[in-house]
Amino acid sequence: MNYAELFRITLPETILEVAALLVLVVDLGLLRKAQLQTRLAVAALLGVLGCVAAQGALLLAPVTGLAYPGSSEVVLAAMGSTAVAQTCILALTVLTLFLLINSDFTRNVGEFVAVVLMSATGALLIAAAQDLLIIFVGLELLSLGLYILTAFAKSSGASAEAGIKYYLFGGMSAAFLLFGFSYLYGVTGSTNLHTIMLSFYSANAALASPLLYMALVMIAAGLGFKVAAVPFHLWAPDAYEGAPAPAAAFIASASKVASFALLISIGTAALHAFDGAQASTVMSFHMSCCPQKFVPGFMPGWSKLLIVLAGVSMVVGNLAALAQTSVRRLLAYSAIAHAGYMLLGLAFYSYTPRSEQAILYYIFTYGLTTVGAFGVISVVEKATGSDRLDSFLGLSKRSPLLAAVLLVLFLSLAGIPPLVGFWAKFNLFAAVLSVSTSKMALGLVALAVAMSAVSLYYYLQVLKRAYVLPAVDDRPIAVHPTTLLVLVLIAAGVVALGCFPAVLQNWISNFYAGM
Amino acid sequence: MLAWTIYLSFAGALAEALLPKGKPALARALALAVAAVGLVLAVVGFATCAGHGRVTIADVPWVPGMGIRYTLAADGISLVLVLLTGLAAVAGVLFSWNIDERTNEFFAFYLALIGGVYGVFLSFDLFLLFVFYEIAIVPKYFLIAIWGSTRREYGAMKLALYSFVGSAMVLIGLLASYAMSGGRSTGLVELAHANLPVNAQMWLFPLVFVGFGILAGMWPFHTWAPTGHVAAPTAASMLLAGVVMKLGAYGCLRVAMTLYPHGMDPWGFSLIGIGSWRDVFAVLAVIGIVYGALVALVQSDFKFVIGYSSVSHMGFVLLGLMTLNQIGMTGAVLQMFSHGVIAGLLFAIVGRIVYERTHTRQLTELEGMHLSKRLPFAAWVFVIAGMASMGLPGFSGFVAELQVLAGSWKADPWWTGSAGVGIVVGVAYTWRALQKAFFSDMHAEAHVHEHGHELAAITWPEVTGVSLLLFASLVVGLYPRVLLDAIEPTVKALLAGGVQ
């Protein structure tokens, strides 16, 4: 590894960092006297340009990974899933920055945008990382940024509370994760994902030691926190409720994509570590997938853990969402449920790219929808001063277009065709069943489908207030034209991608074609 | 060309949503135009395609990677139901002529619902069928919750959740059959030829049948139907009873029975005479027929009478399907059409013509209103529609129910005997409602003055709508060949293709 190579492969990350610094310089240096709205617009625009430039660099980047000198151990990968996840992260970051327009929760605009971009850098690193150290550094870079963003509304007590809760939970889970990593390293002697996975299959008796299973549990706990899976979800409702809208949208979208990209890397490494001789045996095990005691390797234990997390998240997330009166908390619990569906996809992970494509599709479209939902919420909050269910009363009269956007986004989250949320679910569950049609798999898919039927109830609670119940306040809501345009485009995207699901699917699988 | 019924309805829905507010006349005219053109397309499509087996309308890859195709086709059964949808759509617009509040939104949801229904009847790809099926659910919720009456939010939510639970069951079935058949195609024809393992069909069949059956008002999952019908605005209850319940029955036939024929095989043991899922559902159908009729007999709300009568009549459809013979299944499809027309008519009389003028649906209050004198049109139309509903010869209901009963006799005479009780009770509840609402209290002239004001005159949309539906029921009743020529060959092909 030489520095030129390192620079070339981390060019997108570097560009984001440069953009972050540039935003700081411009905002703090040149625009100190300017109006808040001007500063917001300039900072957001610079951030967007940074993301676009990073995306350009990503397209030009070499498709080979980066390895340690004198070793075949890849540190940063440039695989199909990496490129897709990184593109999604950048796209969602751009949308998040658009939400910043016309907001007024802070005067430290430059810092906010800079922290968003730095977190996005962490997210990009995680998506590509194949090495425990890089994974940890990336996660911390992302997480520290998210803690700051959550607590960014300095005048709001809720924001500070959410920030400290998020930070405490996050710090603890990072400790768990690091603890698990240390066991992995101690037993296998490597920090490389593929080497570790390979060690799991070796005949070495020491490897069957309970330490590894300890490590698995610790890692599942650490990553479970990142994706807000039950029982590591407690931070999510508070963070979603207290954080400023753009920060909450970023946590719910780009950060989620990064975490799931990491889980995908782990799954892929676990299944592909033994490419060649052992592949067929493991495949046949996996096809009959009921995690069995005697099968060696990483995947059986991991699958079991993920199945538990997935099942519990789907049930708890959906049932808890039923009782919410704050739309942000409702979205937080629905996010937990959606994480459950995706974990199901990871638990029944296919040897072919089918599963990872389905999960990437899901997480991207989910992120898109959620950013839009937070956009609508932030507008409503600004007009009514609260995100309670009742502040959506009469939205269809007050702003028909905004109500229509909300209708599309929430129905998509509930999985109603022809919106993209339905297709994402169908694709994901079909991928699960393509791995296994055992009773376990069928039962879990049935549970997931049943739970998404439950979810319609709470999404309808919001839509009912927007469309059905009488308004308490008839005054029209003024929406900033840029915000409205972005929201309408997101909604149009949700409809279009749902009607032509093959477009995005082909786009994703094209990234795999050259690999 | 039939595909345009779908596109036109969705385009109409979009146009209505974009119409400027406060122009109800324009919204109505547009909706009527869209619905009428849809009906014309349906009639022309019926005339050109009937008797030609399965006619493919469109067939293009939709998601090539997963073998999902955009396949629209029509066979005899689809054509009959598309025709019914066209009739119900036009009649529904005519009976919604008095909607003044948020008119364009009403028709936007209304036309979206119609588009979804057309789509279901014309889809020959299970994935596509499911998409249209779900598209039809959401507008129903808003139609009832916004424009409905009695306990509308409760009725709307109950309806939406029941429908969604049903469609979740169907979705599980769809995913499982897709995966088990190798994940190559979701086409109905391909899946039917995939020869799914018999033990899988044994659990898939009841799962999917019940999933669709919920929407068809199958006892004991029917409870959404009466509350939903009562809460809904007139046009929505007409559509609910007229076509949406048919979506369920159609799904039972087109999906559950066609894809999982072995699900109806005997279990190998029998419990109190029930030895297969087929027996289970036939018995549930018979219970639905009798139960619906008996409950209709004691209702005090006029609309609940019609609501429960729908449960009873839909029981005939399900019973007909479970006979698994030519005459019974033909009768079931004919009954779908017949009930769609007649229930639409009854709901129109109760919900629009009577309720909008008297502002009550309580039979005890209507008793004193002397309606046969004050609303002779409504009274006489209800007499005719009631006769059609009872199954008097000359109307479509007679032919349909006769065939179902004949078919069920071949399958199991006990079913016929029990269902016959339902017909007798059916006469009783219709008679009771008729007498109480229109013809009681003939001598009490005083009551007329007590209620003071004159009832508004019957309007032209009402007359047109009533005539349209009555005409359809009479034509089919007097010359059932019109539809039977389309239905019979299709049922024969289905039976030969392995439903049995």
Compute the nearest-CA separation of B60 from chain A (Å): 12
Compute the nearest-CA separation of A225 from chain B (Å): 30
CA-CA distance, A36 to B378, in Å (whole number)? 67
Compute the nearest-CA separation of B61 from chain A (Å): 10
Per-residue DSSP letters for A228-262? T-TTS-THHHHHHHHS-HHHHHHHHTHHHHHHHHH
Q: How many domains does chain B have?
A: 1
Task: Report the DSSP pairing between strands A66-67 and B55-63.
Answer: unpaired
Beta bridge partner(s), residue B368: none
pLDDT at A291: 42
Q: Mean pLDDT of all residues in chain A?
A: 85
Its domain, for residue B142, covers 3-499
Cβ pair B389, B346 in contact under 8 A: yes
pLDDT at A287: 45
Q: Which residues contact B69 (CB under 8 A, 6 or more apart)?
A: B59, B60, B61, B62, B125, B128, B185, B186, B187
A401 in contact with B, Cβ within 8 Å? no
pLDDT at A81: 82
The angle, 0 to 180 degrees and rounded to 10, between the axes of the packed helices A80-99 and A501-513 is 130
A468 in contact with B, Cβ within 8 Å? yes
The angle, 0 to 180 degrees and rounded to 10, between the axes of the packed helices B152-180 and B137-147 is 180
A314 in contact with B, Cβ within 8 Å? no
CB contact under 8 A, A450 and B168: yes
CB contact under 8 A, B178 and A433: yes
Picking from B62, B63, B134, the nearest residue to A416 by CB comes out as B134
Cβ-based interface (< 8 Å): residues of B facing A: 17, 61-66, 105, 127, 130-131, 134-135, 137-138, 141-142, 145-146, 153, 156-157, 160-161, 164-165, 167-168, 171-172, 175-176, 178-180, 183
Q: What pTM, to 2 d.p., does this model score?
A: 0.90
CB contact under 8 A, B141 and A460: yes
Cβ pair B68, B125 in contact under 8 A: yes
Amino acid of residue B289: I
CB contact under 8 A, A457 and B137: no
Residue position matching structure tokens 């960092």: A17
CB contact under 8 A, A505 and B63: yes
pLDDT at A69: 56
Compute the nearest-CA separation of A259 from chain B (Å): 27
Per-residue DSSP letters for A383-403? HHS--BGGGGTTHHHH-HHHH
Picking from A404, A433, A460, the nearest residue to B176 by CB comes out as A433
State the DSSP H helix or E strand holding residue B267, giving kind and residue range, or none if neither: strand B266-271
Compute the nearest-CA separation of A330 from chain B (Å): 19
Cis peptide before B20 (omega within 30 of 0): no
CB contact under 8 A, A434 and B179: yes
The angle, 0 to 180 degrees and rounded to 10, between the axes of the packed helices A193-201 and A157-188 is 50
ipTM of the complex model: 0.88
Q: Which tokens belong to B10?
A: 């969705």
Which residues in chain A have Cβ-Cβ distances shorter than 8 Å to B157?
A: 457, 460, 464
Q: How many helices (H) and strands (E) does chain A have?
A: 22, 2
Mean pLDDT of A370-378: 93
pLDDT at A295: 44
* CA distances to B11, B179, B183, B488 from B191, in Å: 31, 11, 10, 23
pLDDT at A283: 46
- Return the ∠ at Cα B479 (arms to B473 and B481), rounded to 5°: 110
pLDDT band at A207 (very low <50, low <70, confident <90, very high): low
pLDDT at A61: 67
CA-CA distance, B131 to B113, in Å (whole number)? 12
**Main-chain phi, psi angles of A153, to 5 degrees:** -80, 95
**Main-chain phi, psi angles of B271, to 5 degrees:** -120, 125
CA-CA distance, B378 to B214, in Å (whole number)? 32
Beta bridge partner(s), residue B68: B63
Neighbour tally for B454: CB within 10 Å? 9
CB contact under 8 A, A502 and B65: yes
pLDDT tens string A79-104: 778 888 999 999 999 999 998 887 88
Mean pLDDT of A484-511: 90
pLDDT at A407 over 70: yes
pLDDT band at A185 (very low <50, low <70, confident <90, very high): confident
With b for 16 or more beta-carbon neighbours within 10 A and e for fewer, the B402-426 pattern comes to: bbbbbbbbebbeebbebbbebbebb
Q: Which tokens belong to A507?
A: 């786009």
pLDDT band at A471 (very low <50, low <70, confident <90, very high): confident
CA-CA distance, A417 to A422, in Å (whole number)? 5
A213 in contact with B, Cβ within 8 Å? no
Beta bridge partner(s), residue A192: A131
CB contact under 8 A, B157 and A457: yes
pLDDT at B319: 92
E strand residue ranges, A373-437: none
The long-range contacts involving B454-462, CB below 8 angstroms and separated by at least 24 positions, are: B454/B374, B455/B357, B455/B358, B455/B374, B455/B375, B456/B356, B456/B357, B458/B353, B458/B375, B458/B377, B458/B378, B459/B97, B461/B94, B461/B95, B461/B97, B462/B94, B462/B95, B462/B97, B462/B348, B462/B352, B462/B353
pLDDT at A300 over 90: no
Cβ pair A210, A243 in contact under 8 A: no
CB contact under 8 A, B142 and A467: yes
SS3 B276: strand
**Main-chain phi, psi angles of B391, to 5 degrees:** 95, 40
B253: closest CA among B469, B77, B2?
B77
Q: What is the DSSP letter of A474?
A: -
Which regions in chain B score pLDDT beneath 50?
446, 449, 500
Q: Which of A16-30, A181-195, B127-141 has the lowest mean pLDDT?
A: A181-195
A263: closest CA among A324, A220, A308?
A220
Picking from B138, B145, B175, the nearest residue to A416 by CB comes out as B138
Per-residue DSSP letters for B400-436? HHHHHHHHHHHH-HHHHHHHHHHHHHHHHHHHHHHII
Amino acid of residue B339: H
